[in-house]
């Protein structure tokens, strides 16, 4: 039997040599199941909205690159390492009439889903995309993009970014205004004219790259797709009438790092609970309902945001009428890296703690 002194000497030597005994830390390094630091959490719009409005007064667009209020998960730091889940960033962006958030670009991928307000636009590599409620717009990695509100009322949208994952994987790059020649203007609606109708492609284009060539997914079409699918009765047992936005050139997710989903929860339905690796950030776009996440019940209504950490049991249901949820998730990463795993309840659902 080694003496305590021998052991102390040995472990001290290990530390000095920057060697760590795996047998002491095995459970931390190889958890038996995913161990997210992020916790289930909900951000109520009625608490958030006053702060959003105050930011319009107190945080001029000139102060930083964007006027964005990030959803800071209580399980994660409240500082430069804040995040909504362990890999994703969800936030609300607020732009007043007449304001313009200047162009920049980054290696991280971003999406916007418009919650309210007319008259805003995002210009991506020279192509202006005018957006209104329910519209979904992409600003792909390393694409120059700015945002502008030429309407008469403030605009609020949800930002979704993979910045947490990209930073932690040590792949982040950023350039601000003036650091490179701006993109040449392109005709508005160009990508939508080529790609938005779906199941058709311009005969001369075969985009197989990692990012969707379609920049703007209008609500008119998204909503119609949900209605048609709902009417057909073809639904997901866990997510009811759920559709993922796709890269029309590959059928895959819009980005390799992040997929985006719109789902209609029908009134009176109770989809089943399941859990899987990968995390998500949700925004309630319409209606009201609730989710049970790891046994905690979160009621939500329009404008509320919430998150589901990796491997957390979750189920969603509409309230009296139907409800529509938009969400972002990191499932493409889980699948590409072979880390996707799923379990579903066959019947019944979670017990609320």
Strand partners, 131: 120
Give min distance, CB of 115 to its own copies, in A: 15
* Minimum distance, C-beta of residue 191 to its own copies, in the bound complex (Å): 9
Part in contact with its own copies (CB under 8 A); list of ranges 149-157, 275-283, 295-303, 314-322: 275-283
Inter-CA distances, 322 with 71, 265, 266, 270, 284, Å: 25, 6, 5, 12, 11
Q: How far apart are CA 96 and CA 348, in angstroms?
A: 46
Q: How many Å apart are CA 248 and CA 212, to the nearest integer?
A: 7
Out of 150, 152, 153, 173, point to the residue binding its own copies (CB under 8 A): 173
Interface with its own copies (CB under 8 A), residue total 144
- Nearer to its own copies (CB atom), residue 51 or residue 320: 51
Q: Show contacts with its own copies in window 286-305 (CB under 8 A).
A: none
Please state the closest distance from residue 347 (CB atom) to its own copies, in A. 18
Which C-beta is closer to its own copies: that of 257 or that of 291?
257
Residue 180 within binding range of its own copies, rule CB under 8 A: no
SS3 track for 278-345: CCEEEEEEECEEEEEECCEEEEEECCCEEEECCCCCEEEEECCCCEEEEEEECHHHHHHCCCCCEEEC
Phi then psi for residue 191, to 5 deg, are: -70, -35
Choosing from 4, 29, 347, 348, the residue that interacts with its own copies (CB under 8 A) is 29
Query: Rule CB under 8 A: which of 35-94 touch its own copies?
Result: 35-36, 41, 43, 47-48, 50-51, 54-55, 57-59, 63-74, 78-82, 86-87, 89, 91
- Kindly tell me which residue out of 103, 115, 156, 229 binds its own copies, with binding defined by CB under 8 A: 229
Residue 62, CB-side half-sphere exposure with 13 Å CA sphere: 0
Residues 201-220 touching its own copies, rule: CB under 8 A, are 201-204, 206-208, 210-212, 214, 217
Per-residue binder mask for its own copies (CB under 8 A), 314-353, x = binder: ----------------x--xx-xxxxxx------------
DSSP 114-174: EEE-SSEEEEETTEEEEE-TT-EEEE-TT--EEEEE-SSS-EEEEEEE-HHHHHHTT---E
Tokens found for residue 154: 């403030």
Q: Identify residues 111-170 at the interface with its own copies (CB under 8 A).
A: 141, 163-170
Q: Which is nearer to its own copies, 289 or 351 (CB)?
A: 289
Residue 146 beta carbon to its own copies: minimum distance, rounded to whole angstroms: 15
**What's the rounded Cα separation, in Å, for the pair 86 and 73?**
9
Residue number with CB closer to its own copies (23 or 351): 23
* Tokens linked to 298: 């979160």
Shortest distance (Å) from residue 344 CB to its own copies: 11
x-marked contacts with its own copies along 247-266 as a string, rule CB under 8 A: xxxxx---xxx---xxx---
Given CA atoms 251, 305, 93, 131 in this order, what sign does their dihedral have?
positive
Distance CA(272)–CA(349), nearest Å, equals 6
Q: Which of 153, 177, 200, 267 binds its own copies (CB under 8 A)?
A: 200
């Amino acid at each position: 039997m080694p003496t305590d002194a021998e052991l102390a000497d040995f472990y001290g030597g290990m530390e000095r040599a920057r060697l760590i005994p795996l047998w002491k830390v095995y459970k931390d390094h190889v958890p038996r199941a995913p161990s997210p630091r992020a916790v289930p959490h909900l951000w109520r719009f009625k608490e958030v909205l006053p702060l959003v409005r105050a930011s319009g007064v107190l945080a001029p667009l000139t102060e930083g690159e964007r006027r964005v209020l990030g959803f800071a998960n209580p399980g994660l730091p409240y500082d430069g390492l804040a995040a909504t889940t362990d890999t994703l960033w969800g936030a609300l962006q607020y732009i007043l009439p007449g304001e313009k958030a200047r162009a920049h670009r980054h290696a991280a991928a971003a999406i916007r889903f418009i919650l309210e307000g007319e008259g805003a636009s995002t210009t991506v590599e020279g192509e202006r995309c005018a957006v209104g409620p329910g519209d979904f717009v992409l600003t792909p990695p390393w694409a120059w993009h700015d945002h502008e509100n030429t309407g008469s009322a403030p605009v609020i949208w949800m930002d979704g970014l993979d910045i947490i994952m990209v930073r932690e994987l040590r792949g982040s790059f950023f350039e601000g205004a003036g650091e490179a020649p701006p993109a040449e203007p392109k005709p508005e609606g160009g990508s939508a004219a080529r790609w938005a109708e779906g199941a058709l492609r311009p005969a001369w284009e075969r985009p197989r790259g990692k990012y969707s060539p379609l920049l703007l997914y209008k609500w008119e079409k998204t909503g119609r797709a949900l209605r048609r699918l709902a009417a057909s009765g073809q639904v997901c047992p866990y997510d009811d009438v759920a559709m993922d936005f796709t890269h029309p050139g590959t059928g895959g997710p819009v980005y390799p790092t992040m997929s985006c989903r719109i789902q209609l929860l029908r009134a009176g339905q109770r989809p089943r609970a399941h859990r899987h690796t990968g995390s998500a950030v949700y925004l309630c776009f319409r209606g009201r309902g609730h989710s049970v996440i790891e046994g905690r019940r979160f009621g939500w209504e329009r404008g509320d945001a919430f998150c589901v950490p990796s491997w957390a049991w979750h189920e969603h249901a509409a309230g009296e009428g139907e409800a529509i949820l938009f969400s972002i998730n990191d499932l493409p990463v889980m699948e590409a890296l072979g880390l996707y795993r799923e379990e579903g309840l066959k019947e019944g659902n979670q017990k609320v703690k």
